[in-house]
Amino acid sequence: MAEQEAQVHGHCDPRFAAVRTAFEANFRERGELGAAVAVRVGGETVVDLWGGWADAAHSRPWERDTLVNVWSTSKGPTALCAHILADRGLLDLDAPVATYWPEFAAAGKEQILVRHLLSHRAGLSGLREPHSLQQLCDRELTTQRLAATEPWWAPGTQSGYHALTYGFLVGEVVRRVSGLLPGAFLDREVTGPLGIDFVIGLPEKEYGRAAELVHAPVASSSEQAAIFSQLAPAAIAALANPAVGAAQANSVEWRAAEVPAANGHGTARAVAALYGIFAGRGSYDGRRILSPEAAERVREGQGACRDLVLGAGFESETEVALGLWLSGANGSYGPNPRAFGHDGFGGSCGLADPEAGVSLGYVMNRMGPHIADDPRKMALIDALYGAL
């Protein structure tokens, strides 16, 4: 069956028919392979669609419960763990990280605050020494190296996307405070009680539900060399030490590890639910996960700037809040500049807009070349806000 003939299944409230139209157009016009989108408005699921194929060979249809690696869309749930601890008075976002993780004070990092980790302002976008995929999947080694290394820039002064290190940094603070890694903490406090189908890392028993990720178009060696020649060392460290793509993410090694910045696996329904906690000002299906004040703090902007890693990819400055990105002038999460969310490498997205009472989850397996604002995601968001 040709890609343009992919069947779309699920439910869509007639009011949001434009979202279904955009989702179907992603298959016809934007190279979608397999994907799902879910939207919650006012606490009700108004869109829950899926379609296409869970593998490149078109041998497995994308099902209602197909799981997929959502890359950095995982950062929202990881940040949620830290905010729950802060809301309970167990974690002070304005305290030095070394208060909870004493070894972290090495190499001039004693004044880095917890909020700097959450907002990509710690100067630790990547490691200085070569770090392989195997080493990345060794959590203890990776956190030890991060504790020992020095920042790339003056912490707190500017954001620089911590693509892979974010989850180890925030995650280690969560572990030091709670005694649990983010995956276990999230399961105990949020996804387990609420029945949300999302995990950090992927248990072997769930492999049969996992979609195969498919590479984005690969640049030639000369094109890659030209791109990297324009990047600062902090950006190269963030994006290529190690370089991780679809092939690595399909491996047992990656799935079995806990990489809280990048190997969350879930459905679109689960992503919409997790970001729905933020959209619901801390409440989900009548259960309070965060106080309203703590939920508002999640989107407390930390200063707009040209991000030191991703800056060239946006038309204007961006602003990271405490774990998520503000929609801002780029409209990355719709027309409300105070809406916020997170994109995943290749296309996925979680969105929260408390003013509109809206959350959205979009997941897919054919990766586009974009780190953020993939055209498929933007088409869905435009259709959603057009229907509100």
Please list the active-site residues. 72
- Residue 157: phi, psi to the nearest 5? -90, -30
| Inter-CA distances, 94 with 50, 97, 99, 104, 185, Å | 42, 9, 10, 16, 22
Question: Which DSSP state fits 218?
Answer: P
- Residue 39: phi, psi to the nearest 5? -135, 135
Taking a C-beta distance cutoff of 8 angstroms, is the pair 348, 34 a contact? no
Q: Which amino acid, residue 17?
A: A
Burial label, 356 (beta-carbon count in 10 A; 0-12, 13-18, 19+): middle
Estimate the crossing angle of helix 268-279 against helix 75-87, to 10 degrees.
40
- Residues 241 and 218: their CA atoms lie apart, in Å, by 18
Question: Which DSSP state fits 352?
Answer: E
Taking a C-beta distance cutoff of 8 angstroms, is the pair 342, 333 a contact? no
- Residue 170: phi, psi to the nearest 5? -65, -40
Q: Which amino acid, residue 70?
A: V
Q: Which amino acid, residue 165?
A: T
